[in-house]
C-alpha cells in the first residue's frame, strides 16, 4: 500500500496521467488487460505460423527465436491476468469456478512455450515446426473456457 501511494505521488508529479484508473482498476481495465495478453500471444503465434509455412519473401528464419521468446513471455503473464475474478469479455464463468483446471492449463502453456523458445534457440525453424502443435494448447482451453465469438 505504501509503495502504491508513493508510486501515485510520483506519477502525479509527472502531470496529467490517469491516476484513478491506476489506483482503482475498474472491471473493464481488468478484462482489457488479459485480452491484450491473449492478443499478443495470437500475434506471435500467427507470425510463427507464417515463418513455418515459408510464406515470407525471404527464407530468413532468424526471427523465430525472438517470436517464440515473445510468446513465452506473454504466456508467463497470462495466469496472473485472470486471477482477479472479473467476469466478462469472452471468459466463461468456469475460468473462476474451475480455477484449478484453468490454472493448470495456464501453467502448461507457460512451460510448453518456454521449452519451445529454448528449442528455437538451438534448433531453429525445424525444431519449432516439430514441436509447435503439441506446445500450443490454445484451442483446448478456448473450447472449454472461452465463449464462441458472437460476431
Tell the smallest beta-carbon distance from residue 62 to ligand HEC (Å).
Answer: 22
Please identify, using beta-carbon distances, which residue of 63 and 99 lies nearer to ligand HEC.
Answer: 99
The residues, ordered by sequence, that sit 6+ positions from 21 with a Cβ below 8 Å of its Cβ are 29
Residues in contact with ligand HEC by CB under 6 A are: 31, 34-35, 38-39, 41-42, 45, 89-91, 95, 102, 105-106, 109, 136-138, 141-142, 145-146
Helix (H) or strand (E) holding 11: helix 2-12
Please identify, using beta-carbon distances, which residue of 131 and 142 lies nearer to ligand HEC.
Answer: 142
Tell the smallest beta-carbon distance from residue 91 to ligand HEC (Å).
Answer: 4
Please identify, using beta-carbon distances, which residue of 11 and 142 lies nearer to ligand HEC.
Answer: 142
Tell the smallest beta-carbon distance from residue 2 to ligand HEC (Å).
Answer: 31
Tell the smallest beta-carbon distance from residue 132 to ligand HEC (Å).
Answer: 10
The residues, ordered by sequence, that sit 6+ positions from 80 with a Cβ below 8 Å of its Cβ are none
- Helix (H, G, I), strand (E, B), or coil: what is residue 23? helix
The residues, ordered by sequence, that sit 6+ positions from 40 with a Cβ below 8 Å of its Cβ are 70, 74
Nearest residue to the partner ligand HEC, using Cβ: 89
Q: Which residues of 91-125 are buried (b: 16+ CB within 10 A; e: fewer)?
A: bbeebbeeeeebeebbeebbebbbebbebbeeeeb
Please identify, using beta-carbon distances, which residue of 72 and 127 lies nearer to ligand HEC.
Answer: 72
Amino acid at each position: 500500500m505504501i509503495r502504491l501511494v508513493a508510486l501515485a505521488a510520483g506519477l502525479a508529479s509527472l502531470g496529467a496521467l490517469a491516476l484513478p484508473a491506476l489506483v482503482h482498476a475498474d472491471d473493464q481495465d481488468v478484462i482489457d488487460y488479459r485480452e491484450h495478453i491473449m492478443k499478443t500471444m495470437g500475434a506471435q503465434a500467427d507470425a510463427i505460423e507464417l515463418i513455418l509455412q515459408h510464406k515470407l519473401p525471404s527464407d530468413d528464419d532468424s526471427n523465430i527465436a525472438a517470436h517464440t521468446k515473445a510468446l513465452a513471455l506473454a504466456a508467463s503473464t497470462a495466469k496472473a491476468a485472470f486471477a482477479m475474478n472479473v467476469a466478462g469479455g469472452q471468459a466463461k464463468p468456469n475460468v473462476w469456478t474451475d480455477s484449478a483446471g484453468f490454472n493448470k492449463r495456464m501453467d502448461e502453456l507457460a512451460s510448453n512455450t518456454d521449452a519451445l523458445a529454448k528449442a528455437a534457440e538451438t534448433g531453429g525453424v525445424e525444431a519449432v515446426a516439430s514441436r509447435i502443435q503439441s506446445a500450443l494448447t490454445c484451442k483446448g482451453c478456448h473450447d472449454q473456457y472461452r465463449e464462441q465469438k458472437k460476431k
